[in-house]
């Protein structure tokens, strides 16, 4: 059922009831010879028109609902875009009074596109010399994220920031550790979930694979991915991860995204990953590795605007 079919049923019921009652009264007065019927008809016509316009407006409002973060972050065939920005010196030539309005300006753009794009922000300043902040976007159509970025670039912060990295990938189902191919490992993955406190830091790591990897058989890839996955299991309780496929969409093959508050565990996870044979087929791991503090869009802009 479409959202409009249930969200505004009470409103429609009330409006319909008022109109029907008015029509009944009008018919009764007509039968009794009331000479004000013509005037009443004109009034009722106006009421009906206003009521229908109101319901149409409510229906449009229902259609323009925010993207569900939990849904879009868990579905396949969703596009993830990662853009880092370096704030230019010109931004700090703007008065403090005007910079204090930047957060509201950016939030307005986020809200404008909230029906088609889910936007998250990270402060990278101090962690990476190449950037000051990261915008992570999820959309069902890349053009929707592009429209958001176009509007963002027109804000005072956007006009005075330089994009230093842009990555795009799409979420897909598991290729190798599936129920049919590796049921035991899949069960182990499902039974090991994140249980630590809300993560504080995020990492973005692009990965490229060599031609030798792509030309291996499915059986060979499965064996290596099992070898890759098993050492990571102890760390999944305090490190979240998400994979995006980018081959042909970008100059990289995969984008890996991590969240954690335990940087020692994350370091140990990477050591474990570097110890497996599958890593030998990586021609790129990072370069750059982007690290950021997870914050709201408003908090990131306010931190940068001081």
In 3-state terms the chain splits into helix, strand, coil percentages (rounded to 5) of 50, 20, 30
The predicted structure's pLDDT at residue 292: 98
For residue 80, the cross-strand partners are: 138, 169
Q: What distance in Å separates the CA atoms of residue 145 and residue 137, rounded to the nearest whole number?
A: 7
- Residue 146 and residue 120: Cα distance in Å, rounded? 15
CA 277 to centroid of chain Cα atoms: 33
Q: Which of 12, 125, 241, 284 is catalytic?
A: 241
Q: Residue 225's pLDDT is what?
A: 87
pLDDT at 86: 98
Token pair of 92 as six digits? 């700090």
128 near 205, Cβ under 8 Å? no
8 A C-beta contact, residue 201 and residue 128: no
- What torsion do the CA atoms of 112, 115, 116, 120 make, to the nearest 10 degrees? 70
Residue 151's nearest CA partner among 103, 105, 201 is 105
Per-residue DSSP letter, 289:
P
Q: CA-CA distance, 25 to 37, in Å (whole number)? A: 10
pTM of the model: 0.79
* Active-site residue flag, 241: yes
Distance separating the N- and C-terminal Cα atoms of the chain: 47
User: What is residue 304's three-state secondary structure?
Assistant: helix
Closest CA to 133 of 15, 304, 14, 255: 304
Give the H or E element holding residue 130.
Answer: none
pLDDT of residue 42: 57
Contact 202, 294 (CB under 8 A): yes
Spatial CA neighbour of 203 closest among 158, 246, 142, 267:
267
- Position 6 scores a pLDDT of 36
- CA–CA distance, 192 with 306 (Å, rounded to integer): 41
Query: pLDDT tens, position by position, for the chain (306 residues)?
Result: 333 333 433 444 444 454 445 545 545 554 555 555 455 555 445 544 545 455 444 444 445 699 999 999 999 999 999 999 999 999 999 999 999 999 999 999 999 999 999 999 999 999 999 999 999 999 999 999 999 999 999 999 999 999 999 999 999 987 766 767 788 777 877 778 899 999 999 999 999 999 999 999 999 998 988 888 888 999 999 999 999 999 999 999 999 999 999 999 999 999 999 999 999 999 999 999 999 999 999 999 999 999
Are the C-beta atoms of residues 71 and 140 closer than 8 Å to each other? no
Tokens read off for 115: 């029906």
Whole-angstrom distance, CA of residue 55 vs CA of residue 48: 11
Residues 108, 52, 46, 32, CA torsion sign = negative
Q: b/e for 85-115, b at 16 or more Cβ within 10 A?
A: bbbeeebeebeeeebeebbebbbebbeebee
DSSP string, 59-117: HHHHHSPPP-HHHHTT-SS-EEEEEEEEE-GGGGGS-HHHHTTHHHHHHHHHHHTTTTE
Q: Which helix (H) or strand (E) holds 173?
A: none
Q: Residue 261 in contact with residue 200, Cβ under 8 Å?
A: yes
């Amino acid at each position: 059922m479409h959202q409009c079919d249930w969200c505004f049923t009470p409103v429609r019921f009330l409006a319909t009831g008022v109109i029907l009652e008015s029509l009944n009264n009008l018919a009764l007065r007509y039968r009794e010879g009331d000479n004000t019927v013509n005037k009443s008809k004109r009034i009722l016509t106006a009421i009906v028109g206003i009521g229908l316009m109101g319901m149409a407006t409510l229906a449009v409002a229902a259609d323009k609902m925010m993207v569900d973060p939990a849904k879009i972050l868990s579905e396949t065939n969703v596009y993830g875009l990662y853009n880092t920005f370096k704030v230019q010196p010109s931004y700090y030539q703007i008065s403090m009074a005007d910079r204090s309005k930047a957060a509201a300006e950016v939030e307005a753009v986020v809200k404008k596109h909230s029906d088609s794009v889910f936007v998250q922000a990270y402060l990278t300043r101090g962690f990476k010399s190449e950037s000051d902040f990261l915008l992570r976007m999820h959309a069902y159509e890349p053009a929707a994220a592009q429209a958001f970025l176009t509007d963002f670039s027109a804000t005072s912060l956007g006009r005075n920031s330089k994009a230093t990295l842009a990555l795009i990938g799409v979420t897909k189902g598991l290729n190798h550790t599936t129920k049919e191919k590796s049921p035991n490992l899949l069960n182990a993955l499902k039974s090991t979930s994140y249980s630590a406190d809300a993560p504080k830091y995020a990492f973005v790591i692009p990965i490229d694979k060599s031609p030798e990897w792509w030309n291996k058989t499915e059986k060979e890839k499965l064996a290596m991915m099992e070898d890759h996955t098993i050492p990571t299991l102890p760390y999944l309780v305090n490190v979240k991860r998400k994979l995006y496929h980018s081959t042909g969409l970008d100059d990289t093959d995969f984008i890996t995204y991590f969240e954690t508050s335990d940087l020692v565990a994350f370091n140990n996870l990477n050591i474990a990953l570097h110890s497996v044979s599958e890593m030998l087929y990586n021609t790129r791991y990072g370069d750059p590795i982007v690290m950021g503090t997870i914050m709201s869009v408003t908090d990131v802009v306010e931190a940068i605007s001081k």
